[in-house]
Structure 1
Amino acid sequence: MNPEDWIAHDPDPVTAAELSTCSPGELAARFAAPLRFGTAGLRGPVRGGPDAMNLAVVLRASWAVAQVLIAHRRAGSTVVVGRDARHGSEDFAMATAEVLAATGFSVLRLPDPLPTPVVAFAVRETGAAAGIQITASHNPAADNGYKVYFDGGVQIVSPIDADIEAAMASAPPADQIARRPVPPGGEELLARYIGRAAMVRRHRGQVRVALTPLHGVGGATAVAALRAAGFRDIHTVTSQFDPDPDFPTVAFPNPEEPGAADELLKLAADTGADIAIALDPDADRCAVGVPGSDGWRMLTGNETGWLLGDYLLSRLSPGRTADAVVASSVVSSQMLADIAQHHGARHVETLTGFKWLARADMPPIGQQGTVLVYAYEEAIGYCVDPDAVRDKDGISTAVLACDLVAALRDRGTSVIGELDELARRHGVHVTDAVTRRVADIDEAAEVMTRLRAAPPGMLAGFTVAATDLLYRRGPVTDALEFTGERDGTSVRVVVRPSGTEPKLKCYLEVARPPSDDLAGDRAEAQRVRQAVADAVRAW
């Protein structure tokens, strides 16, 4: 559709007027390529044009989802629609629900802004054919997105995403797409979700919790789930508790970003908390802070991943371990594989993203007859109750993390002590992530092409071998893996372009074999990590 026709059929007078004032160059840029499906959906800035998030794009995407569901013989089935509190989310969710209803689907439009895992839960709980959450997760305030789940509340993968994109390309003009009003409902599903999240608790005992939802939608739901699990001593960062789409107290609304957790850690220190919890804006990610000898610090995503995986496997009932599967992504630490072996369970490594991790017990990724009990990736995403939510879930993770702290305290140890125990058992593992911002996806592709054409054979003094994950057996991804070993120390680097932002990401891991000299091993691993990080920054 050319710009003139798009503007003429834009149902939103604000974006139509905005496009009308664009320069020819800006207009050409916005119409050069439509918004594409990345991490199970669309994500982009809220503004006019087919390359962004706006009412016209949402209407066409919803019409396309309906066509694909009909093609899959799911006409007339239930679809769950939810939203976060970002700019445009309410209007986008309403439009999504109304298009699906007009196409003959039974639409459950959840009331109020709610966490993304509530939608994933609702799809699975109700047996819905699909779920759509309007959210841009932890992206900057100017962005919004459109996340799609199909059967079982699992994020869509190819070819479904390509089918939806193809249907969008043939969609009618946005103002000609039929809509039918849909009243909100499903309040009982939120209560059921909170009750289920509380059930991940395995131990009894109290902890004092400091919590922030970082201006997102997870605050009230997290507090309700923690209280339902029996945790009553909860302190929240007041300035960040209510949803605010402008995220005024943080530069980036992502708990992993430097400074984002500063107010949380101050609250934790001031209140004498036992654990600090930071949720991202749509509450599907959870970052954990703990006290140590040098004060409070946030755990890395891998450290939390090791701790929760070991805790869940240690609590499995006898007879369940043999068929139990834990999963981590190719960009995450490899320690979980050793933890699984220690407990007699299976480990599956998947491509990046929970659309793959959630399928770790499903052929062809996983093995028939196995049962997924846990999955994580280093970007603070954890699936701790796959039977209920087949996606990352910051709320249930927060409950389990508090439960772990209570259990460790009753054993006379702490999170830091437990990390030492894992290192003594499985060796010291040090991880890092080096991010290189690029102008656009073309620049990221240029770097990947250069590395493929001439992969480095040496990395910080280590001879390394390169594996191209774009050409391996099974599901492929645009990533390169470099591995090497010297004198018992192993190094591993995975480099890939981001699926949602203009970034090139390098994931580093340095490991040393088990020994009694944890301090010495950590110092050496950190020295190597720094040398490797310096080397990859030059790529």
Structure 2
Amino acid sequence: MNYMEEYKAWLESPYIDDETKKELLSIKDNEEEIKERFFKYLEFGTAGLRGKIGAGTNRMNKYIVAKATQGLAQFILEKSDPKMGVVIAYDVRHFSKDFARIASEVLAGNGINVYIFDDIRPTPMLSFAVRHLRATAGIVITASHNPPEYNGYKVYWKEGSQILDDVAIPVQENIKKIKDFGEIKYLNFDEGVKRGIIKVIGKEVDEAYYEKVLSLALNDDIDKNISIVYTPLNGTGNIHVRHVLKERGFNNVYVVKEQELPDPDFKTVGYPNPEDIKAFKLALELAREKNADIVLATDPDCDRLAVMVKHNDEYIALNGNQTGAVLINYLLSQRSKKGLLKEKSMIIKSIVTGNLGKNVAEKYGVLTFETLTGFKNICGLENKLEKEGYQFEFGYEESIGFVTGNFVRDKDGVISAMMLSEAAGYYKKQGKTLVDVLNDLYKEYGYYLENNFSLIYEGIEGMEKIKRIMKYYRNNFPKKIGNLNLEKYIDYLDGNVYNVDGEKIGEVNKDHIPSSNVLRFFFEDGSWYAVRPSGTEPKLKVYIYSFATDREESERKLKLIEETFRNIVDKI
């Protein structure tokens, strides 16, 4: 598209307000900025929209939100029942509430019922509300843990999980057909409320959600006096995590004051990602003061949870694989004792998540299914397998996303905080920390260690380099690294499993794992690594997992695989 023509069209459009035009006029002499804002439309996909806030086609603003919502509205009118309604939630970010109201007005303008939350809510509560209210879809305005200048728009379908291609592609086609903002239908928010087509929801949905979350509790024979420090990182988790922990009887919960209240600028942390140890700085100060047993952090939309554990007088961070394995061990051991596990009980993990949790599940007779990264895929597979009679026990991925129960179809930081606190209280009563539990698992199942990292390749040259690396590894992968012999590899682009000579020896379940540009290499000893280009950034993502019966040997293998990989890609 011609960026200058688009820029002028926005300035001349009768549907663009004066404030937006003023912002655009302020960049009239900056062609590079005009190009950046107008060289394309924000792409609508299975993850919805995400981008920097501002005026322009390649920005998050009320016009782009309205256009996306009109495209969704048309799909609902064609394929579903508008009376079922759409649930809308929003986070703490700049313009989140405004964008949520715009989406409400467009849906109502198309005759579609709307349920909109009265204030900020965690993303998983949107997933719950879609199912609870039997709505046809859900929208949440959030950019998760992105920097403050970003916002986003995610769409959920009636099962409560994020949309997949069967919805995303036709909605995107509808959006592309809208040539003029005048085609978008609106009904004023207050008028919509007056007519009853827009309903404001809150307390009654919260209470139904809390009841379901608390029903997941497995054990009261725990130490409820454990000391817990919690930070919502100035996001949506504060009220809901604290409420659930209090209802479970955890009274020694201390919240980081500076990060307790919503702040769209995330001034105390900058990059509000709990995977980043720097996000724990203030929480650790409070933890040392309060002698906390565990330190919990949720990201701004409260769908992911990170934990640090006090062990031998120091605080140790558990990564997503480790936390997942500890939770699986606790949940399945307790459910097994209570006779709650079924023959078709299962967990679901992503293909780049480690195998320790899978081995723990196997001990309890629980099956493990794999799918692509992202909870849209994990919960999408849950929806399918549920219809085949499987009982969902747990879903997780290495990037600190976890969920249990069947009433939320997304990762859930509230549920995760409660279950991890329960596990910590249970093991403390036995004189153990969560790190002790993890070490016990290593002793029983072997040392699964990991190093996941990204290689950044900017610009057009960078994109070409990523393509060359993927092509090289499809054709010239090393069959031996040190004393590690390659056994097989999977190319998820064609869904086939190959031996070291490139001969097809099997295929993945393509109904569970759609085609994706991912390569995964397995060694005879149980170590493996995977490579994939990022779908959203100029990065090559690398996942390395080593396995050995003792830690030192596993660490040696991990280092060896990484060094070999880096040496190869440097020369490509």
Deviation at 1:445, TM superposition (A): 6.2
Alignment of 1:181-196 (within 5 A): 181=189, 182-183=192-193, 184-196=200-212
2:437 corresponding residue in structure 1: 418
1:369 corresponding residue in structure 2: 389
2:266 corresponding residue in structure 1: 247
The amino acid of 1:456's aligned partner reads F
Structure showing greater radius of gyration is 2
Matched, 1:97 2:104: yes
CA distance, structure 2, for counterparts of residue 481 and residue 266 of structure 1? 40
The answer on whether the counterparts of 2:143 and 2:152 sit within 8 Å (CA) in structure 1 is yes
The amino acid of 1:46's aligned partner reads I
Matched, 1:215 2:234: yes
Identical aligned residues as a percent? 33
Alignment of 1:31-430 (within 5 A): 31-38=38-45, 40-180=47-187, 181=189, 182-183=192-193, 184-204=200-220, 205=222, 206=224, 207-293=226-312, 295-316=314-335, 317-318=338-339, 320-363=341-384, 368-385=388-405, 387-430=406-449
Residues 55-83 of structure 1: CA distance to partner in whole angstroms, max 9, x if unpaired?
A: 11100000011111122132332100010
Deviation at 1:107, TM superposition (A): 0.3
Deviation at 1:463, TM superposition (A): 4.2
3-state SS in 2 of match to 1:358: helix
Matched, 1:483 2:522: yes
Deviation at 1:319, TM superposition (A): 5.9
CA distance, structure 2, for counterparts of residue 84 and residue 499 of structure 1? 24
Matched, 1:17 2:40: no
Gaps of 5+ in 1: 514-520
The answer on whether the counterparts of 1:198 and 1:226 sit within 8 Å (CA) in structure 2 is no
CA distance, structure 2, for counterparts of residue 25 and residue 470 of structure 1? 36
Residues 283-338 of structure 1: CA distance to partner in whole angstroms, max 9, x if unpaired?
A: 00000110112500211110000011121112224263311110110111012221
Residues 189-233 of structure 1: CA distance to partner in whole angstroms, max 9, x if unpaired?
A: 122222322332222230221000111111121111111222111
Cα 1:95/1:455, change in 2 over 3 Å: farther
The amino acid of 2:400's aligned partner reads I
CA distance, structure 1, for counterparts of residue 386 and residue 358 of structure 2? 15
Gaps of 5+ in 2: 194-199, 496-507
CA distance, structure 1, for counterparts of residue 422 and residue 17 of structure 2? 48
The answer on whether the counterparts of 1:195 and 1:228 sit within 8 Å (CA) in structure 2 is no
The answer on whether the counterparts of 1:129 and 1:151 sit within 8 Å (CA) in structure 2 is yes
The answer on whether the counterparts of 2:296 and 2:417 sit within 8 Å (CA) in structure 1 is yes
CA distance, structure 2, for counterparts of residue 445 and residue 305 of structure 1? 36
1:530 corresponding residue in structure 2: 559
Deviation at 1:420, TM superposition (A): 1.7
2:9 corresponding residue in structure 1: 5
3-state SS in 1 of match to 2:517: coil
Deviation at 1:32, TM superposition (A): 2.8
The answer on whether the counterparts of 2:520 and 2:528 sit within 8 Å (CA) in structure 1 is yes
Aligned length: 527
Q: Which moved more, 1:277-286 or 1:456-465?
A: 456-465
3-state SS in 1 of match to 2:297: strand
The answer on whether the counterparts of 2:50 and 2:150 sit within 8 Å (CA) in structure 1 is yes
Matched, 1:510 2:546: yes
Deviation at 1:410, TM superposition (A): 2.1
1:434 corresponding residue in structure 2: 453
Cα 1:154/1:417, change in 2 over 3 Å: same
CA distance, structure 1, for counterparts of residue 324 and residue 17 of structure 2? 44
1:467 corresponding residue in structure 2: 490
RMSD (Å), alpha carbons? 2.1
Deviation at 1:16, TM superposition (A): 3.0
TM-score (norm 2): 0.87
CA distance, structure 1, for counterparts of residue 208 and residue 480 of structure 2? 51
CA distance, structure 1, for counterparts of residue 418 and residue 373 of structure 2? 25
TM-score (norm 1): 0.92
CA distance, structure 1, for counterparts of residue 516 and residue 23 of structure 2? 37
Deviation at 1:367, TM superposition (A): 7.5
CA distance, structure 1, for counterparts of residue 17 and residue 408 of structure 2? 35
CA distance, structure 1, for counterparts of residue 460 and residue 395 of structure 2? 29
Q: Which moved more, 1:343-352 or 1:221-230?
A: 221-230
1:516 corresponding residue in structure 2: none
2:502 corresponding residue in structure 1: none
Cα 1:104/1:44, change in 2 over 3 Å: same
The amino acid of 1:8's aligned partner reads E
Deviation at 1:500, TM superposition (A): 3.9
Cα 1:367/1:124, change in 2 over 3 Å: closer
